[in-house]
Amino acid sequence: MIEANVLVIDDDDDILLSAKLFLKQHFSQVITCKSPKEINVLLSRNEIDIILLDMNYQKGVSDGREGLYWLEHILSIDKDYVVILMTAYGNVELAVQAIKKGATDFILKPWENEKLFATLSAASKLRQSNKKVKKLEKIHSSLQKDINRKFEHIIGHSEPIKQLQNTLIKVAPTDANVLILGENGTGKQVFAYELHQLSQRKNQIFMHVDLGALNENLFESELFGYAKGAFTDAKDDKPGRFEMAEGGTIFLDEIGNLSLPLQAKLLSVIQNRTVNRLGESKERKINVRLITATNMPLNEMVAKGTFRQDLLFRINTVELFLPGLAERGDDILLLASHFLNTFSSKYHKSNLSLDHKAEHMLLNYQWPGNVRELQHVIERAVIMSDGLKISASDLQLSPQKFGGTNQVVQTDMGLEEMEKLMVQKAIDKHKGNISRAANDLGLTRAALYRRIEKFNL
Ligand SMILES: Nc1ncnc2c1ncn2[C@@H]1O[C@H](COP(=O)(O)OP(=O)(O)OP(=O)(O)O)[C@@H](O)[C@H]1O
């Protein structure tokens, strides 16, 4: 039995019946229809591989023009359909014309069953290889998208970011598995890519897989691939993401979202460094660098039994913790100015800069959405700005998300009040430790004491 769905279109009931009786012995599905006008509906509802199309439908007409018209129509829906034309009037010129227009083959009526079978089985092979090429093109274009994606380089000079960069330099050339932890929008993807760029695999693929976006059913086929026939839709062999990343780096994002059964499957791949495609017993060796990331508290999850300890031990040979943006001091302004440049040029607004009040606001905001939120805030401000300066009110920051003092910052707050708030915030943060608070604010202890006195804190 050949795995192919055949659609036969002919206005003659006898032809349809005899075609169906014969073809269904050899092909997985045979659909017949009397009028080509039904083509659109039939093709949209069924996965058709081969179309056997009559050339003439009106009584007494035998010039084949109708067949040519419908052939063009079918190929305009999808140029990869395999169409075989049939006519009772053997006409070489018509056959040549049809082939020129994209028909795969031509058959004369009345047909010999062996000839019909041979033509259709050759056509089904062509269809299979067309489908394979299409699938490979899809894989290629999805990989190409990954390859061409623009990644930011890490921006930041704050102490925690400097330390992280030093760690990256040490860890990158090794093949150690790295787990990146941090809240949403802290730049886990940016760090993962930098790690790849600093490694010896930098000229190979960096494969990003968002595990949070894969449901239970897709997980295995997407990551490990499948063999033909593994499930109903598995018409061809397909390599998974691990195999596609061969020689390079695979970045499994949102690993904290994996269910326990999927954690077990992933663990076995990481332990054995082999994958089994679904529906296949053959073990395939893989050579990939593993980087994982999550914003979830994996240690707590281990304690609660929702994340496997053995998997955690496998993935966290080195652990990087990315601090929230609010912990990065002046990096906020560095990043803001970077985004300002990016969006100014994107929206054709030159020389935009932040005024002092706006800078103070950015430095005092809590940034629950971290760098991603800053990026959005600056983009919006660039779009809304009228002049050359971005003001505090252009930023549209939520007043509830300022400082740790429960004080609400108004967008029309004066510099003095803002300074008072920053001082209070630093003191609260360091639980009254003046040296540390002064250090954070970039002041000497004496200067900080003067302000405490001035603001009556
Ligand atoms: N240090 C940085 N330098 C430059 N750009 C950064 C930095 N950190 C983050 N970004 C930018 O901020 C945005 C969010 O970063 P990214 O997607 O890496 O965060 P994430 O931690 O992976 O987020 P999520 O957990 O939501 O997936 C991206 O556009 C990224 O380019």
What confidence score (pLDDT) does residue 44 get? Answer: 81
The Cβ-side half-sphere exposure at 406, using a 13 Å CA radius, reads 0
**Mean pLDDT (the chain, rounded):** 87
Task: Identify whether residues 311 and 174 lie together within a single domain.
Answer: yes
Atom of ligand 1 nearest to the CA of 161: 1
The tokens for 250 are: 């695979």
Task: Identify whether residues 316 and 330 lie together within a single domain.
Answer: no
Confidence class for position 237, pLDDT limits 50, 70, 90: confident
Task: Identify whether residues 340 and 441 lie together within a single domain.
Answer: no
Residue 141 within any structural domain of the chain: no
Residue 143 within any structural domain of the chain: no
Among 295, 298, 372, say which to mutate for ligand 1: greatest number of ligand atoms within 8 Å of CB: 372
Task: Identify whether residues 330 and 226 lie together within a single domain.
Answer: no
Q: How many CB atoms lie within 10 A of CB 220?
A: 21
Question: Percent of the chain having pLDDT more than 70?
Answer: 93
Q: Give the distance (Å) from ligand 1 centre to CA of residue 427.
A: 29
Task: Identify whether residues 349 and 390 lie together within a single domain.
Answer: yes
Is the C-beta atom of 334 inside 6 A of ligand 1? no
Task: Identify whether residues 201 and 318 lie together within a single domain.
Answer: yes
Last residue of a domain, one of 361, 378, 403: 403
Is the C-beta atom of 296 inside 6 A of ligand 1? no
Task: Identify whether residues 307 and 342 lie together within a single domain.
Answer: no
Q: What is the number of domains present in the chain?
A: 4
pLDDT surpassing 70 at residue 410 = no
Give the phi and the psi of residue 195 in degrees, each rounded to 5.
-60, -45
Across the range 45-51, mean pLDDT stands at 88
Task: Identify whether residues 304 and 453 lie together within a single domain.
Answer: no
**Euclidean distance between CA atoms 28 and 124, whole angstroms:** 11
Is the C-beta atom of 187 inside 6 A of ligand 1? yes
Residue 232 within any structural domain of the chain: yes
Atom of ligand 1 nearest to the CA of 371: 12
Task: Identify whether residues 107 and 208 lie together within a single domain.
Answer: no
pLDDT tens string 256-312: 999 999 999 999 999 999 998 888 877 888 999 999 999 999 999 999 999 999 999
Task: Identify whether residues 254 and 290 lie together within a single domain.
Answer: yes
Is the C-beta atom of 319 inside 6 A of ligand 1? no
pLDDT surpassing 50 at residue 406 = no
The answer to whether 260 touches 306, Cβ cutoff 8 Å, is yes
Residues 6+ away with beta carbon under 8 Å from 220: 226, 240, 265, 278
CATH number at residue 342: 1.10.8.60
Long-range contacts of 380-383 (CB under 8 A, 24+ apart): 382/340, 382/343, 382/344, 382/346, 382/347, 382/349, 382/352, 383/343, 383/347
The answer to whether 71 touches 40, Cβ cutoff 8 Å, is no
Q: Give the distance (Å) from ligand 1 centre to CA of residue 148.
A: 17
Nearest to 270 by CA among 228, 312, 208: 312
Is the C-beta atom of 152 inside 6 A of ligand 1? yes
pLDDT tens string 323-355: 999 999 999 999 999 999 999 988 888 778 999
The answer to whether 256 touches 265, Cβ cutoff 8 Å, is no
Is the C-beta atom of 64 inside 6 A of ligand 1? no
Cα diameter, the chain: 106
Angle in degrees, CA 151, 156, 158, rounded to 5: 155
Number of residues assigned to the chain: 457
CATH number at residue 177: 3.40.50.300
What confidence score (pLDDT) does residue 148 get? Answer: 55
Task: Identify whether residues 354 and 217 lie together within a single domain.
Answer: no
Task: Identify whether residues 318 and 331 lie together within a single domain.
Answer: no
Domain region containing 284: 149-323
Residue 120 class from Cβ within 10 Å (0-12 exposed, 13-18 middle, 19+ buried)? buried
